[in-house]
Amino acid sequence: MKHFVLLLISVVCVFIANAQIKLISGPMLGYVEHREALIWIEVGKEVKSAELKYWKSGKTSDFIRQTYDGKLGRPFNPIKFVLVALEINTTYEYEVILDGQSLSLPYPTRFTTKELWEWRKPAPDFSFLAGSCSYVNDSLYDRPGRPYGNKMQIFETMARENAGLMIWLGDNTYTREVDYSSRWGMNYRYSHTRSHRQLQTFLAKMPHYATWDDHDYGPNNANKSFRFREFSKTLFDDYWGNASSGQLGQGIYSQMRYADCDFFLTDDRYFRADDNLPDSIGGAPNPEKEMFGKMQMEWLKNALINSEAAFKFICIGSQALNEVTPYDAFHHYPAEYYQLLNFIRENKIKGVLFMSGDCHFSKVMKLERKDAYPLYDIVSSSLTSGTYKASEAEKKFIVPGTLVETQNYAKVSISGPAKGRQLQVEFILSDGTKAGEFNVNQKDLQ
């Protein structure tokens, strides 16, 4: 009997281990709203069925089971479960079931729906994380020499944060030459990056929202001419869990709200003219050199003027307010750049802040404006990729105490009473050390 029990235990352990192998990555929390949430996973091509079982915390027996009814057995199988008819401000737990076997994961799988605070109480205090430039080494396809990616433990540090959400600001994965030459290669890079072991706890910890930049859209400095442009959008939508993605099937721009803050996740690649087009023609901004494109710009302007948020975060993969860099920045698209800044000023839109990545060091840049409050760009870069140094010209516009030239992420905290909300930005290193800080009050952005 003893030998039979040991044999049974061994068989069960092998069965569970095999089920674990079938999970390539995830689960990852996508958007979480008041009564709806999205959970993402990727499974191996050998998986025949995938299910999600979820229940209110503490009520394990009262569960709901959702079966994935899409196609499986492909080389890459990202899956989304959309959970509906949830209760507000309620914690749910869940488990993944592959081929009939529940997976036992070494980290919690739970989420809490949004609270309905409007017209009832002050907006809740909260914090969120942000970062860009996440490079996962893959030695066979990387450039020779010192590995470009390092300090993956930054994601373990981020997983310990008690934050409400994560904003990925672009270059969330790095396509190599062997990737963006084919659709399969691009899909491989997304899958390879997402499956890194040290990412998994973080993916499950909080909701994740994203925009992109050139390296997760395609080649370096890629524009709207990229031949796999439409497939790149499909990949982004497959691997991220934003609640919306562009309009009329074009681009990946989106908007979401958390507490009393609005986030505008813009698309700086799908509609983008090439960087090498002249910024100006005959002394006037070149109207053909667009980053956002007309449809997205109209969306953004209307969304901004409609917003009543205390803070309005415009998130861009490229640097937003850097007027002195010769490299990638919104400033090099002056027709749109000044159109947007003038629109914000003329319509007296309060509480606007920019957030961006790309440049491989973090900082808060300040742009003074005549007869208007200053604009700030919270630049968070890089998470794991190589880092660069700020130029002397840039340092003149960087808020003192915010320049960080090694791997880091941003933690942004919102607190305080209505009409006097306080925003704090902390730049935090992979070991949890705070390396920079910036504070501004809602009243200073009016």
**Residue 1 Cα distances to 4, 11, 322, 370, angstroms:** 5, 15, 73, 85
- Nearest to residue 321, comparing CAs of 305, 303, 309, 338? 338
- First-to-last alpha carbon distance for the chain, in angstroms, is 77
CA distance 361 to 358: 8
Main-chain dihedrals φ then ψ at residue 83, nearest 5 degrees: -100, 125
pTM of the model: 0.95
Domain covering 23-112: architecture: Sandwich (2.60)
- Under 8 Å between Cβ of 365 and 379: yes
User: pLDDT band at 320, cuts 50/70/90?
Assistant: very high
pLDDT of residue 151: 87
Region 400-426 average pLDDT: 98
pLDDT of residue 20: 63
**Is the pLDDT at 441 greater than 50, yes or no?**
yes
User: pLDDT band at 21, cuts 50/70/90?
Assistant: confident
Show Cβ contacts of residue 14 under 8 Å, excluding neighbours closer than 6 positions: none
pLDDT of residue 73: 97
Main-chain dihedrals φ then ψ at residue 185, nearest 5 degrees: -65, -40
User: pLDDT band at 198, cuts 50/70/90?
Assistant: very high
Q: For 125-180, how does the pLDDT look when each residue is reduced to its tens digit (9 = 90+)?
A: 999 999 999 999 999 999 999 999 988 999 999 999 999 999 999 999 999 999 99
- Comparing 23-112 with 126-445, is the CATH topology the same? no
CATH 3.60.21.70 is held by the domain 126-445: yes
pLDDT of residue 279: 96
Say which residue the tokens 């990852």 belong to: 28
User: pLDDT band at 7, cuts 50/70/90?
Assistant: very low
Say which residue the tokens 């529940």 belong to: 102
Q: For 81-138, how does the pLDDT look when each residue is reduced to its tens digit (9 = 90+)?
A: 999 999 999 999 999 999 999 999 999 999 999 999 999 999 999 999 999 999 999 9
**Is the pLDDT at 38 greater than 60, yes or no?**
yes
Whether a cis peptide bond, with omega within 30° of 0, leads into 362 is no
Map out the domains of the chain as residue ranges: 23-112, 126-445
**Is the pLDDT at 9 greater than 60, yes or no?**
no
- Nearest to residue 164, comparing CAs of 220, 106, 97, 113? 113
Whether a cis peptide bond, with omega within 30° of 0, leads into 27 is yes
